Amino acid sequence: MSEAFDAVDVILVKRDRGVLSDEQIDWVVDAYTRGVVAEEQMSALLMAVLLNGMDRSEIARWTAAMIASGERMSFAGLSRPTADKHSTGGVGDKVTLPLVPLVAACGVAVPQLSGRGLGHTGGTLDKLEAVPGWRASLSNDAMMQQLESVGAVICAAGTGLAPADRKLYALRDVTGTVETIPLIASSIMSKKIAEGTGALVLDVKVGSGAFMKDAASASELARTMVALGTDAGVRTVALLTAMDVPLGRTAGNALEVRESVDVLAGGGPPDVVELTLTLAREMLAAAGVTDLDPADRLADGSAMDTWRAMIAAQGGDPDAELPTARESHTVSATADGVLVTLDALAVGVAAWRLGAGRARKEDPVQAGAGVEWHAVPGDEVRRGQPLLTLHTDTPERFERALAALAPGVVVGPVGATVDRLPLVVDRITA
């Protein structure tokens, strides 16, 4: 068949800072998905987008073209409203695990399609696979049945949702074109809109451990995604949340599951509890449920009951012992003082080097590997007091993990003050 456009002509428009037409965008996304546009041609176009940007109409059309490359799901047949949450990724961000059953326990179904970790940011599916027997892959029919019976699903996205994005994401990863707002926003929102949820809460991380290091760029990304969701008929709100310091007290797979279960049991670190409840209230409000306080569902055990049902429905044993690493190493304070820095990126890289993450999509992960921290910025510490514990099955990894941590863990003098971002930096709506 003859093609409507030539790939080189499309590349030249964006190279020369022009605006791509709707027809050009529709064609190039479809043609790339079909294999007509070569990898090197799409690489050139992606780099031109990174360097020269896209306007709002281009981003919206690019997102729509990626949605059109595959199927769209619908939850209209469910007996309860739906809401979903997406985090742009951070260190120790295990909030999805307690959040999904908590919101489901409040009567809103949560179809949480999640991914795997790459680099220093952890993946929800990797974490849950630390639970013996739990499986990430579900058919659409099984997902619908579980949403109706349990109200909560955390699973891998099917191959039919936005296949153009899956292909583009892999290409961006190897061509240095990940960190650009038009491509990040369209990648996230194409999947979330195609997924068919009625309401969406975006957790956009800001700080050293996030893609977006400063509030201005995080805010721009959040506004772009909220506009895309709103224009597509999805009730969308975004929170900018802190990722200068890692979340909770653990980064790793089984370590974070254990901490999440603590939250569902009514304990857990205060920041994880606060962010879980804040996001739950946003999801419930977006789904039209305003007469329930999710804190009550943590307190009465119903969120834990939903967690257990969700894990069991996907083949997991909620009572099984979680894996632990064979080796550990403790980092202690060398002087009295105040912990003034616990850098999220440093902790994330250390956990990755210990085996909790992967450098390539096909790499395996260690379920028990990761980092625990026993103090947070602002805490007084004493010489010899344990600050962190490192976990791995392969002790030869400790040296490189410690090298990553060294500049990111700083104890200041007694009385030192600490400047931290608030947990919720901003709230953005249409």
Please report the pLDDT score of residue 119 as a whole number: 64
360 classed as catalytic? no
Identify the active-site residue in 172, 223, 235, 297: 172
**Average pLDDT, integer, range 265-270:** 96
**Average pLDDT, integer, range 211-218:** 93
| Same structural domain, 135 and 232 | yes
| Same structural domain, 294 and 384 | no
Q: Could you tell me the CATH number of the domain that includes residue 405?
A: 3.90.1170.30
Q: Could you tell me the CATH number of the domain that includes residue 186?
A: 3.40.1030.10
What's the domain count of the chain?
3
Q: Residue 249: inside a domain, yes or no?
A: yes
Identify the active-site residue in 69, 186, 187, 260: 187
Identify the active-site residue in 30, 93, 126, 165: 165
| Same structural domain, 32 and 181 | no
| Same structural domain, 240 and 363 | no
3-state helix, strand, coil in the chain (%, to 5): 45, 15, 40
Q: Residue 128: inside a domain, yes or no?
A: yes
CA 70 → CA 80, 194, 376, distances in Å? 26, 8, 45
Identify the active-site residue in 127, 191, 249, 281: 191
Structure tokens at 218: 């995080």
| Same structural domain, 157 and 205 | yes
Identify the active-site residue in 86, 120, 167, 353: 86
pTM of the model: 0.94
Q: Residue 72: inside a domain, yes or no?
A: no
pLDDT mean across residues, the chain:
94
| Same structural domain, 141 and 206 | yes
Please report the pLDDT score of residue 170 as a whole number: 85
Q: State in Å, rounded, how far the first CA of the chain is from the last one.
A: 42
Q: Residue 259: inside a domain, yes or no?
A: yes
Instruction: Convert the pLDDT of each residue in 166-191 to its tens digit.
Output: 899 889 988 989 889 999 999 999 99
Residue 271 has pLDDT above 70, yes or no: yes
Pick the closest to residue 93 from 255, 274, 222, 272 (CA basis): 272
Query: pLDDT tier at 1 (50, 70, 90 boundaries)?
Result: low
165 classed as catalytic? yes
Query: pLDDT tier at 260 (50, 70, 90 boundaries)?
Result: very high
| Same structural domain, 136 and 285 | yes
The answer to whether residues 285 and 201 touch, using CB atoms and an 8 Å cutoff, is no
Q: Is 355 left (phi over 0), alpha (psi -120 to 50) or beta?
A: left
| Same structural domain, 256 and 335 | no
The answer to whether residues 49 and 14 touch, using CB atoms and an 8 Å cutoff, is yes
**Domain containing residue 189:** 84-320
- Cα 30–chain centre separation: 27
Instruction: Convert the pLDDT of each residue in 114-155 to its tens digit.
Output: 887 666 777 899 999 999 999 999 998 999 999 999 999 999
| Same structural domain, 30 and 128 | no
Instruction: Convert the pLDDT of each residue in 37-89 to its tens digit.
Output: 999 999 999 999 999 999 999 999 999 999 999 999 999 899 999 999 999 98
DSSP letter for each residue of 256-280: HHHHHHHHHTT-S-HHHHHHHHHHH
Query: What is d(CA 351, CA 391) in angstroms, rounded to the nearest whole number?
Result: 8
Q: Residue 406: inside a domain, yes or no?
A: yes
The answer to whether residues 428 and 230 touch, using CB atoms and an 8 Å cutoff, is no
Sign of CA dihedral 217, 222, 227, 228: positive
Query: What is d(CA 430, CA 190) in angstroms, rounded to the nearest whole number?
Result: 18
User: What is the share, in percent, of the chain residues with pLDDT greater than 90?
Assistant: 89
191 classed as catalytic? yes
In the sheet that holds 409-412, the strands lie side by side as: 380-381, 337-342, 409-412
119 or 234: which carries more pLDDT confidence?
234
